[in-house]
Amino acid sequence: MNHSIMPPNPRKLIDTHCHLNHPDFNADKDEVLQRASAEVGTIIVAGYDLDSSLLACRLAERYETLYASVGVHPDQAVDWNRSRYDSLKELLSRPKVVAVGEVGLDYHWHPETKSKQIEALAAQLDLALELNKPVILHCRDAHTDLLDQLEIYQGRLRGVMHCWTGSMDEAIRAIGIGMYLGFGGLITFKKNVDTIQGVAAEALADRILLETDAPYLAPVPHRGRRNEPSYLLLIAKRLAEIRQIPVEEIRIITSQNAARLFNLPES
Ligand SMILES: [Zn+2]
């Protein structure tokens, strides 16, 4: 095993995608972080519009274990314009902002804004390339178009396809382009996820990451309720079962991968 790259806290998990900036956490953020602290050493708070991106930056400045990513989600792409680009660029210069995201394509909820989504995505990928930041990608029913966009940057851009839902062929293509795959609560669901679990079992070890996507997609047995970063251990345990290796190994591998991708400092 390669020990040359150590995670920020080698004893703990890294939640690479969490929305502690969501209003669902307004009332009890400190308690949520306290519950996570035993197992989760670092949390990346992902923005989805300008307000939530700014809040992610502020949280990262306030809490030692938090880092921020800033971006405009495809759901908000209809409002994309030059001033949003300028605002994001300013946020990306702040301390502890480690990525552009979440950005991407969502044809499930917003098929009517396809061209605007691609415009917003392309501009934000250019920004990531210019500032040498990784990207956090959201994708729903749009894998072919998203991978086509990413392929333009082949070998020059790194990032994660968060909450992986694609096929094995799409996973192979994403990894070939230089992407990591984020696995969350979906891998704990019993039904209709054979493909996701198949990819989780087979994906290259040095390209897998853990995430909660809290407050969404809580893992079993909390499915349907608010998700939170302390549940990341349930996801790590399930991934360990799927890959038939000890959870300890999942922790080491995924924390090293996250530290490498997001250039997280050692603590
Ligand atoms: Zn998200």
Per-residue model confidence as pLDDT tens digits over 187-222: 999 875 678 999 999 999 999 999 999 999 999 999
Q: What is the pLDDT of residue 116?
A: 96
Instruction: Please give the Cα distance from 227 to 24 (Å, whole number).
Output: 10
Which domains are present in the chain? 13-262 (3.20.20.140)
What pairs with residue 68 in β-bridges?
A: 45, 97
User: pTM to 2 decimals?
Assistant: 0.94
Residue 5 has pLDDT above 60, yes or no: no
What pairs with residue 183 in β-bridges?
A: 210
The alpha carbon of 98 and the centre of ligand 1 are apart by a number of angstroms equal to 15
Residues near ligand 1 ion, CB 5 Å cutoff? 213
Instruction: Please give the Cα distance from 78 to 47 (Å, whole number).
Output: 16
Q: What is the pLDDT of residue 195?
A: 87
The alpha carbon of 8 and the centre of ligand 1 are apart by a number of angstroms equal to 22
**Percent of the chain predicted with pLDDT > 90:** 92
Which band of pLDDT confidence, cut at 50, 70 and 90, is reported for residue 265?
Answer: confident
Q: What is the pLDDT of residue 1?
A: 47
2-6, 137-141, 154-158: the lowest-pLDDT one: 2-6
